[in-house]
Amino acid sequence: MIDLTTETLDLKEARLRAIFRELGSVLVAFSGGVDSALVLHVASQELGERAVGITARSESLAEREYAGAVGFAAAIDARHEVIETRELHDPSYAANPVDRCYFCKSELYEKLAAIARERGIPHIVDGYNRDDEGDWRPGRKAAREHDVRSPLYDAGLRKADVRALAQRLGLAVWDKPALACLSSRFPYGTPITLELLRQVDRAEQTIHDAGFRACRVRHHGEIARIEVPPADVAALADPAIRDGIVAGVRAAGYRYVTLDLGGYVSGGYNPSR
């Protein structure tokens, strides 16, 4: 058995490129995060016009993330298209159960599968990597049901490998903070509406505008619980910055604005936490 932890980045990159050449033609589920960005870039390098990135524009995708995805694809000169998804119209998704992501990914992959069949593209690929398998990801069931391939995983890349390779290849998103849809800001069981998604988006934009790259606004009714990396907690609490953020988050629709001293935790509402 190959020990992937001792392999060099060169070997993993070579395997990744060989996987794409073997696949021959792919649709890339491109969210704009560093993982799928690396997949789209390398697929485009190896396959040219036979690699097509597809971004799903939905109510749960922050506008800044959509703009970033479009800009990245243009910057690397990749084939890129945008489709509309309406997972919020599915009551099973809007009820926000613990497997909410399954319903979102099911709609996405059904639409991608239809596009792939229409164009004769044999494979759909995503940005799943080796470190993701230890996380709570109900969307993986949908990926298996639609035969989605995961080249980063198959090539043995972990998250650190993804960032290192993206940096080496000159991708501007190599150090981009982890991406998650806006629906992840709500405790499981809290119904999700378009109005609430926009409220969270406006609140988070206030924090981004203040210079914080990574943040989450966790929704608790009238309370906004702000998470930033522990190293940024003191900076956000500085009155010179804090007061503007409080005003902006309240303007977004929250009555109370709190700062979580524990800092940002990826997947903070997941059952395993």
Residues labelled catalytic: 181
Three-class SS of residue 202? helix
- Can you tell me the distance from the alpha carbon of 126 to that of 109, in angstroms, rounded to the nearest whole number? 10
How would you class 115 by CB atoms within 10 Å of its CB: exposed for 0-12, middle for 13-18, buried for 19 or more? middle
Q: Using alpha carbons, select from 144, 57, 136, 146 the residue that is nearest to residue 97.
A: 136
- Can you tell me the distance from the alpha carbon of 43 to that of 64, in angstroms, rounded to the nearest whole number? 24
Those residues with Cβ within 8 angstroms of residue 67's Cβ, 6 or more apart along the chain or in another chain: none
CA atoms within 13 A on the CB side of 148: 27
- Can you tell me the distance from the alpha carbon of 189 to that of 266, in angstroms, rounded to the nearest whole number? 19
- Can you tell me the distance from the alpha carbon of 128 to that of 130, in angstroms, rounded to the nearest whole number? 7
- Can you tell me the distance from the alpha carbon of 62 to that of 121, in angstroms, rounded to the nearest whole number? 29
Query: What kind and span of H or E run contains 79?
Result: strand 79-84
Query: What kind and span of H or E run contains 22?
Result: helix 9-23
- Can you tell me the distance from the alpha carbon of 93 to that of 86, in angstroms, rounded to the nearest whole number? 10
Q: Using alpha carbons, select from 234, 224, 179 the residue that is nearest to residue 202.
A: 224
